[in-house]
A and B are shown apart, each in its own frame.
Chain A
Amino acid sequence: MSSSSVQPIVQLYEVPGNDFTRAGEASSKVKGILKKLGYDPDAIRRVSIAMYEGEINMVIHANGGIARVEIFPDRVEILLSDQGPGIADVEKAMEEGYSTAPDEVRALGFGAGMGLPNMKKCCDEFRIDTAIGKGTDVYMIIRVRGSKS
């Protein structure tokens, strides 16, 4: 059976910006789907972490957004798109420990400044498109290790 003969599984999620307690739901749904598919455990782990961090970022820094996930036999592509404030200095934001998170979310253990660097570590391809005042798109690809691109 050739893997190109199957359509990708596409999932769209709205990540609400006003309800912090629901952050992380979309990534946990994706994880559930990947497990049902019997997807490679290492890829599941990387998808879960990268998407979770990105989802949290949309909630705490950008007042929510949407997540589009495409599952292929050899890779998972994730687009996180928001209409938040944008990131002024992407290089700085990528530094470990850099954070502008407000105190109230720090009290919950977020805002360690490790989200973006961890997302990048989990991904095989990682790109940020951002514009001040317009929003941010984070585009990530996680490949199943051992499968060709």
Chain B
Amino acid sequence: MQYFHSVRLDEEKCLGCTNCIKRCPTQAIRVRDGKARIISNRCIDCGECIRVCPHHAKRAVTDPLSMMDDFRYKIALPAPTLYGQFNHLLDVDYVLTGLIDLGFDSVFEVSRAAELVSDYTRQLMRENKLKTPVISSACPAVVRLVKVRYPDLCGQVLPHLSPMQVAARLAKEEAIRQTGLAKEEIGCFFITPCPAKVTDIVSPIGISQSWVDGAFSIADIYKPLLEKMEQVKTPRPLSKSGIIGVSWANSGGESAALIREQYLAADGIENVITVLDQLEDERLTELDFIELNACPGGCVGGVLTVENPYVAKARIQRLRKYMPVSLNHVNGSVSPEILEWDGELEYTGGMQLSSDLVEAMRMMQEIDALEKMLPALDCGSCGAPSCRALAEDIVTGSGARLNDCIFILRKEASSLGVSLSDHPADRGRIHPTEEQNDDGKNAQ
């Protein structure tokens, strides 16, 4: 199976340091031959490595604004997080009018779709139709994490499309009705705070074909949009959502929209993992809704935003002040079925040693033995996030070797009578390449 990832490495900028390997929540990064490599089936596109890389060598692939030209009718789908990026903004319509002036034919706020998802979730929970505690499916990085690590929790993930996909579907169907154009001639563009959403466009969760055609990062659209917004004299009355939809940008917003008390909202990937671990052990049974966002503060903390998450949050709070509570409800005009996934979330794994249990046990014993030979420093110089991870890489045959560990290499060298210099210029030799695998020779 092929995995698409929006998070990529810029080889030229990567210095092969250990920042990202240490911080990746799924241990999906290794440094090999002096460059970071992402292990595809473990990556959840959370963007944590983009956040920590001091050399800006990790980036998210988003679409260029020029992609709009490929479609006859272009629709902007702004994430509510976008509204938190602008200083002194008192009216969302400035942002929406600015988007029209930028060349979009129409806008469909993702917050409208968020209100529909909230309304439908409220309804299903009232009728006790969902397995509790229900886990939100709004953050695709979290949903992918559940897919690779939590087999037991897959059935508890809210089986609804993300507001982004719902917005795109409703916007596209409306545009087809109004313009008479074919589906292919209409382009829906999500204005995204994060790489995880981009991945959810290329390989969507819960449906086979994405309704969204492209993604522009908030960071990319920020400047041209701001220029247009500054020229807006009288904004057009375009906004059709309220407090509930806009609040989805912040951690806790989706939960508050359910108007229930027994919820938990956690943000930041480490916290998310802690909560999922506890859920898996059935330690949070008194709760009925779990909102999880990979980013600190919620989507306002996405890596493709420009403003500090807490500043953005405060701004959104101020913006909400004169808004109606909610303007979108599932009823006759929107049938609830279109919000639903085609099926339950499927566990894909990706963390196990082997699909054969006995084989996995043998491997684990080998890993245990190898780990005992390593210095337990977890220094990262070998390119793996911990000594244990190196042992695992060796046993799983992913190309790592025991003397990738500089301490082992030193021991080997000194037993051959050569001394390894401590000079930083020798760092490259920590990762001997295939051609130069005679370590004694390298060390001279």
Contact = CB atoms under 8 A, between A and B. Distances in A.
Given A9-B364, A9-B365, A39 B357 contact: yes
Question: Interface residues of A: mostly helix, strand, loop or mixed?
Answer: helix
Contact of B282 (A28, A38, A42, A49): A49
A33 interface: yes
B353 A38 contact: yes
Contacts of B357: 3, 37-39, 73
Given A41-B151, A49-B281, A5 B352 contact: no
Nearest to A36: B353
Among A9, A28, A36, A71, find the residue whose CB has the most chain B CB atoms closer than 10 A. Answer: A36
A35 interface: yes
Interface in B81-109: none
B268 interface: no
Contact of B364 (A28, A37, A48, A49): A37
Query: Is chain B's binding surface mostly helix, strand, loop or mixed?
Result: helix
A37 B352 contact: yes
B358 A38 contact: no
Given A1-B358, A6-B358, A71-B361, A37 B280 contact: no
B349 interface: yes
B281 A35 contact: no
A38 B352 contact: yes
Interface string A83-124: 000000000000000000000000000000000000000000
A7 B352 contact: no
A73 B361 contact: yes
B280 A45 contact: yes
Interface bracket on B: 20 to 34
Contacts of A48: 280-281
A7 B357 CA distance: 12
B351 interface: yes
Contacts of B351: 35-36
B435 interface: no
Given A35-B149, A36-B352, A38-B353, A28 B277 contact: yes
Contact of B360 (A36, A44, A49): A36
Interface in B192-222: none
A65 B424 CA distance: 47
A39 B215 CA distance: 39
B361 A6 contact: yes
B131 to A, nearest CB: 15
A5 B364 contact: no
B230 interface: no
Contact of A1 (B277, B281, B359, B365): B359
A6 B353 CA distance: 16
B362 interface: yes
A71 B349 CA distance: 20
Given A37-B364, A48-B280, A49-B281, A3 B354 contact: no
B152 interface: yes
B164 to A, nearest CB: 30
Interface in B317-370: 349, 351-362, 364-365, 368
Contacts of B365: 7, 9
Contacts of A31: 277, 280-281
B39 to A, nearest CB: 15
A71 B354 CA distance: 16
A45 to B, nearest CB: 6
Contacts of A5: 358
Contact of B152 (A9, A37, A38, A41): A41
Nearest to B281: A48
A39 B412 CA distance: 37
B183 to A, nearest CB: 40
Contacts of A44: 152
Contacts of B349: 38
Contacts of B361: 6-7, 9, 37, 71, 73
24 contacts: A1-B358, A3-B358, A6-B361, A7-B361, A36-B351, A36-B353, A37-B352, A37-B357, A37-B360, A38-B354, A38-B357, A38-B360, A39-B357, A41-B151, A41-B152, A44-B152, A45-B152, A45-B280, A45-B282, A48-B281, A49-B281, A52-B281, A71-B361, A73-B361
Closest 5 A/B residue pairs (Cβ): A38-B352, A41-B151, A37-B360, A48-B281, A6-B358
Interface of A: 1, 3, 5-7, 9, 28, 31, 33, 35-39, 41-42, 44-45, 48-49, 52, 71, 73
